[in-house]
Amino acid sequence: MTPDLTDVSSPQPPYDLNDTSIRLRLDPAPDCHVLLVDDDVLVRAKLTALLTRAGYTVHLAGSGREALQALTTSPCQIVLTDWQMPDMDGLSLCRALRQRDSEGYVYVLLLTVRDSSEDIVRGLAAGADDYIVKGARAEELIARLEVGKRITRLEQSLRMSNRENHRLSVTDPLTGARNRRFLMKHLPREHEIARRRGQSLAILGCDIDGFKLINDTFGHEAGDDVLRIFVQRASSCLRLSRDWIARSGGEEFVVVLPDTGLPGASTVANKLRTSFSGSHIVTGAGLVKATISIGVAVVENVHGRETLSVGDLLRAADRCLYASKTLGRDRVTAAPTGCVDADMSGPPARGSHEIN
């Protein structure tokens, strides 16, 4: 399934190489698909021959309803439609297309024998982009289709550009993880989704141990390598479709695990810890051994009970992370749900436990 970066309900990791914008950029001149809608089989046959020769990929429908059905299985950039047809006419098709929630813009060209000024106005008002009277020269029809092709290509290019800009605005350029802006916007959404569905939500507060020392000893470039490798190794421990990771500060990260309770979150945290510290990191300055401390906090949602706020959750994870640091680093500390309290200034609450 194509990941949608605008879908806030299921944020995808930014380092997903299946990103549509990347795939589209690799295809410089995709085919232009035209859906030809006419109830006359001979008209369809003749126009198909003409359009195919002009380089278009042609799909066929015999009515507006068939056209709508065809577009769900074969997306087309251009719809070339007759006006008067059984079942659903061309104007109704135009209106239905404009009300439809589709990813790309569909350029509609009405091709009809109706040639009065009133008809042209009605056609364009219904949502057609252009209007051509049947019997016009083939060259004119092709020229108008080329206009549609240019416009849909431009729209596609703008859409890709917007998507890329959006991706960059929520991505940490160094590591490819989500950035703090994304975290602060989407964690509350994950929290709300979990509350509505009565699901658990876990977060892992992660901090690379002795990162300043790594920078001081091996240099900042090596430090950057360590951050990048952390995200790579952490990502391999997560569910690509649901979990995500954000860089919340210099060497601090937050991993968000929707629909995950304490046992699952603890398992992921330990897997992540061992994955990161299990082998040396190759940097430009040589091999670096690094470890990570993790604090786990979980909100267990039960319908009808008031749940913890996002702030409480973050503070709980931070507090457990602090506990992991003070207990000797390279470890995971979790706060059971019932032990999370509002006062996060002191030492870990009783009940917090090391789960290495």
Partner 1 sequence: MKSIDPSQKPVPSWMDGRMQDLCRTFHIRLRGDRSCLVALGEALACIEGDPASAFEELRLRAHKLRGTAAIFEIAELRDAARALEMAAATAAMAHARGTDVQVRASLEALLCVLARADEPAPGISPLASPT
Q: Please pick, from the candidates 43, 288, 327, 339, the single residue that binds partner 1 as defined by CB under 8 A.
A: 43
Q: What's the farthest any 2 CA atoms get from each other in the chain?
A: 84
Stretch that binds partner 1, among 49-57, 168-176, 225-233, 286-294 (CB under 8 A): 49-57
Tell me the C-alpha distance between 93 and 69, whole Å. Answer: 11
* The dihedral sign for the CA sequence 311, 315, 316, 318: positive
Which residues on neighbouring strands pair with residue 130, listed in sequence order?
A: 109
**Is 103 among the catalytic positions?**
no
- Options 1, 26, 29, 42; binder of partner 1; rule CB under 8 A: 42
Nearer to partner 1, 110 or 231 (CB): 110
Residue 45 CB: number of other CB atoms within 10 A?
13
Taking the complex as a whole, how short is the minimal distance between the CB of residue 111 and partner 1, in angstroms?
9
Under rule CB under 8 A, residue 22 binds partner 1: no
CB 140 → partner 1: shortest distance, Å?
Answer: 12
- Determine if 53 is a binding residue for partner 1 (CB under 8 A): yes
Q: By CB under 8 A, which span of 100-108, 127-135, 146-154, 193-201 interacts with partner 1?
A: 127-135
Angle CA 217–221–223, to nearest 5: 60
Cβ within 8 Å of residue 136, ≥6 positions away: none
Burial status of residue 161 (CB atoms within 10 A of its CB: 0-12, 13-18, 19 or more): exposed
Residue of 251, 252, 306, 354 marked active site: 251
Distance CA 290, CA 272 (A): 13
Strands 286-288 and 281-283: antiparallel
Whichever of 53 and 189 has its CB closer to partner 1, that residue is 53
Q: How far apart are CA 263 and CA 244, in angstroms?
A: 18
Whichever of 89 and 330 has its CB closer to partner 1, that residue is 89
To the nearest whole angstrom, how small is the minimum distance from the Cβ of residue 47 to partner 1?
7
The C-alpha atoms of residue 37 and residue 58 are separated, in whole angstroms, by 10
The tokens of 275 are what?
Answer: 């994955």
Among 33, 65, 122, 134, binds partner 1 (CB under 8 A): 134
- Considering only residues 56 to 115 of the shown chain, the ones binding partner 1 according to CB under 8 A are 82, 84, 112-113
Tell the smallest beta-carbon distance from residue 37 to partner 1 (Å): 13
Nearest distance from residue 62's CB to partner 1, in Å? 13
Binding partner 1 (rule: CB under 8 A), the pick from 46, 98, 185, 189 is 46
143 is a contact residue toward partner 1 (CB under 8 A): no
| Closest C-alpha among 218, 225, 226 to residue 292 | 226
Pick between residue 49 and residue 287 the one whose CB is nearest to partner 1: 49
Angle between the N-to-C axes of helices 180-197 and 310-326, in degrees from 0 to 180, rounded to the nearest 10:
110
| 132 vs 221: CA distance, rounded Å | 62
User: By CB under 8 A, is residue 133 in contact with partner 1?
Assistant: yes
Q: Which residues bind partner 1 (CB under 8 A)?
A: 39-40, 42-43, 45-47, 49-50, 53-54, 82, 84, 112-113, 133-135, 138
- Residues annotated as catalytic (active site), given as ranges: 251
